[in-house]
A and B are shown apart, each in its own frame.
Chain A
C-alpha cells in the first residue's frame, strides 16, 4: 500500500501567523560563511575580538565577589534597578531624557521590536518604515502580519514629503498607521542619518497625527565624524510620542543580549506584561556586567578605540569600492555605524549572491531590507567585523563577480538576438 507522508505531521496545526515562516535557499547558501576562506561582509557583527579579555575577567570577578546570589537569581521583569540607572546615565550622555521607571531592560534590542509589535500590531495594521529598513525587523513585522509601507530616503534620511504623501494616501483609505519605525542615526542598511531639520519635521508630523514613533538607535554612539544630532526622543520633549530602543550589542557585546526600551509609563507597563510571558526577565548576570562596564572607567576609552577602528575600516571599504566597483555603482560613505549600502544599476544582487559565495565573499542582498521585493540592485556591506586587509580583498572579489555578471547580462541582451524568428 502506498503511504503518503508529510514529514511534518503538525503541518496543519500551526497557528496561521507562523504559516509563512519558512527556511529559504538563500539562508542555507549563507552557511558557507562558516568557512574561514570566505570573507563575510554580510553580518552586522561588532568586532568583539577587540574586547580586552582582562576586562571581562575583572567585571565577572567583581560581580561574583559582591552579587553572586543576585546574579544567578531571577530578576524583576523590568530589569535590575542598577541596570536601569546605568541605562539612564548612558542615555543622558546622548541627550535622551530617561528616568529608571520608564526603562524596560530586554533581551537585546530585538526583543523590544518584538514586544512593540506584539503590543501594538493587529493583523493588517499599517507600519511605516524606511525603505530599505533593518532586515531583522521584517520577520518580526511579518509574524504579526503588519502592512508595511516603505518611505524612500536620500542622503538626509527618510523623505518627509514622501511620508506626508503616504499618510494622505492612507487617510483617503480611512487608515491610520500604528507605528513609524525608524533608525535615524547611521541607518541599517542605508548608512545615512536623518538630518536635524527632518528629525524635527518627523517628530512634529507624528505628534500632530498622534502616530507613535519607534526610534531604533543601536549606532548613534558609533559616530566617526560630525556633531551628534538630537534623538527623536529628545526632540519629542516629553510628549510621549516616541519609544526609544537601545542596545549594548554594538557598544559592548551582542553576546550579553541586553537591550532596552525607554517609553511612556503606560507603554512600559504593557511591554512589561508582554515580556513576562516570554522570558520573565533578561539575564541578571548579563545586566550586571553591562551596567558595570558602561559605568566604569574602561567604557569611554573602549568606545573610542572601537570608533577609531571602525572609521579606519570604513575608509578602507570606501576606497576599495571606488577602486573595484564599476563607476556607476552608487554608495555614500557613512559617517558612523556599521554598513555601506551599495547600488549597482542593472545588477541583480540576488542573482549575484551564489556567484559571490563561490568567489568566497558574502553580502546581504538588498531585497532582504524590503517587505515588497524591492532593492534587488542593492547590497548591504558590513565593515566592522573583518580586518582591513580582508575588507580590501573582499571588495576586490566582489568587484570581479559584479563585472562578470555585468558582462553576462550585456551578452544575454545581445542586439543580434531576434525572437522574431522564434515560433514560440
Chain B
C-alpha cells in the first residue's frame, strides 16, 4: 500500500536539490516499512493525490511552489496531512523580506536591510534611491532574491557596479530582492530545530570563497562542516535561544533550520528554511546525526506528527 507520498521536483529552480532530498527520504521511508510514492509535482498533482488517498505527504519540494505555503495550502484543501510547517509559517519564512520584518518587529536581530522590487525599479525610478540605500547600509552589501532558497541568485557587492550586477542577477530569480548589510568575516551557523528542540549547531566554512553559496553547499569537499560548532558555552546557548525564539515567532512546525551568522560576538538570523535540505551535504541531517539521530530516525520524527494528524 502506498500510504505515504513524497512530494518533490516540480519547476522550482531548486529541483535538483529536491530530487536528491527525496531520493534519500524515499529510502528511509522504505526502511521504516512504508511503501512511498515519489511524485514529481506538476499539473496532475491534485488528481493523483485525490485518486490515491494517501495517509500523509512528506514534502521534499524546496523553493517556490513547495516551500512557500502554496503546496501546504493544497494539502490542507485536500485534507492531506503533511510534514513541516503550516501555510502561514511557510509563506512568511520563505519570503526573506517578510521574515526579516517579523524578526525586526519582534526585536530579534537580523542584518539591516532594504528591499527593491522589479516593479518599483522599472516604474517608480527606485534605482535613484540606491545611493540612499548604500548610504544607510554601507558597502559591502549582499543582494538576495526574496523568495529563493539554496543561496541561489545571491551576490556580494563591494561597489556600485557590482551592486548593479548583483541586482540584475537576483532579479532574474525573483521580482523582489533584499539588499542587506554584508557582515564580512562572519561565521555561518545553522541550528536545526526538531519539534521545538534545538539540534547541535553546525558551522559551515566554505574554502576559498566569500559566501556559503550554492556550489559550496552542494559540492562535497568545498566546505568544511564543524558539528557541534566550536563556540563558547555562552555563545552556543545564545544561538540556541535565538533560533528557538525565531522558530516560535514564526510558528514553525516539525523540522526547520535557522541560519545564523556570527560576527564578533553578535548573532543575527539570516534565513529560516521550513523545508530544509535533506541531501548528503545538507546541514539538518548532519546536526541530527551529531545528536545521535540517524537519517532514518530524522525522517521518522518528521513524518510521525503528520501521521498522527
Contact = CB atoms under 8 A, between A and B. Distances in A.
Interface of A: 2-8, 10-11, 22-25, 28-29, 31-32, 34-38, 348, 351-355, 357-358, 360, 404-405, 407-409, 411-414, 416-424
A7 B221 contact: yes
Interface in B272-299: 280-281, 286, 290
A403 B143 CA distance: 23
Contacts of B223: 6-7
23 contacts: A4-B225, A6-B221, A7-B223, A10-B221, A25-B213, A25-B215, A31-B16, A31-B19, A32-B12, A35-B9, A35-B11, A35-B40, A35-B42, A353-B172, A354-B152, A360-B11, A408-B122, A409-B168, A413-B164, A419-B131, A420-B131, A421-B132, A424-B159
A7 B11 contact: no
B153 interface: yes
Contacts of B221: 6-8, 10-11
Interface stretch (B50-58, B89-97, B133-141, B250-258): B133-141
Interface stretch (B99-107, B183-191, B227-235, B237-245): B227-235
Nearest to A421: B131
A424 B138 contact: yes
Nearest to A14: B221
A131 to B, nearest CB: 23
Nearest to A416: B128
A400 to B, nearest CB: 13
A32 B122 contact: no
Given A355-B172, A405-B168, A416 B227 contact: no
Given A5-B224, A28-B218, A422 B134 contact: yes
Contacts of B215: 22-25
Interface string B153-175: 10000011000110111011100
A25 B226 contact: no
B123 to A, nearest CB: 8
A38 B11 contact: yes
A5 B225 contact: yes
B130 A417 contact: yes
A345 to B, nearest CB: 15
B46 interface: no
Contacts of B214: 25, 28
B131 A418 contact: yes
A8 B220 contact: yes
B110 to A, nearest CB: 22
Nearest to B225: A5
A214 B43 CA distance: 47
> Size range of the interface on B?
35 or more
B168 A412 contact: yes
Contacts of B227: 2-3, 5
A327 to B, nearest CB: 21
Contact of A354 (B9, B132, B160, B173): B173
B261 interface: no
B265 to A, nearest CB: 18
B134 A424 contact: yes
A280 to B, nearest CB: 31
Given A4-B225, A6-B224, A37-B42, A32 B15 contact: yes
Interface of B: 9-13, 15-17, 19, 40, 42-43, 118, 121-122, 125-128, 130-132, 134-135, 138-139, 152-153, 159-160, 164-165, 167-169, 171-173, 213-215, 218-230, 280-281, 286, 290
Contact of A2 (B40, B153, B169, B229): B229
A421 B226 contact: no
Given A22-B222, A36-B42, A352-B172, A417 B128 contact: yes
A28 B9 contact: no
A6 B11 CA distance: 31
Contacts of A11: 220-221
Contact of A4 (B9, B139, B226): B226
A2 B167 CA distance: 38
A196 B221 CA distance: 50
A354 B172 contact: yes
Contacts of B219: 22-23
Given A351-B168, A351-B169, 10 more contacts: A6-B221, A22-B215, A25-B213, A35-B42, A358-B173, A405-B172, A409-B168, A412-B168, A419-B134, A422-B135
Contacts of B220: 6-8, 11
Given A7-B280, A358-B13, A2 B226 contact: yes
Contacts of A405: 168, 172
B224 A4 contact: yes
A41 B160 CA distance: 34
Given A6-B224, A357-B13, A412-B167, A351 B132 contact: no
A80 B225 CA distance: 52
Contact of B13 (A10, A23, A36, A354): A354
A271 B10 CA distance: 44
Nearest to B222: A22
A243 to B, nearest CB: 34
Given A7-B225, A32-B15, A416-B128, A423 B168 contact: no
Q: 9 nearest interchain CB pairs?
A: A8-B221, A8-B220, A11-B221, A25-B214, A422-B131, A28-B16, A355-B172, A31-B16, A7-B220
B229 to A, nearest CB: 6
A421 B125 CA distance: 16
Contacts of A424: 134-135, 138-139, 159-160
Contacts of A34: 9, 15
A7 B216 CA distance: 11
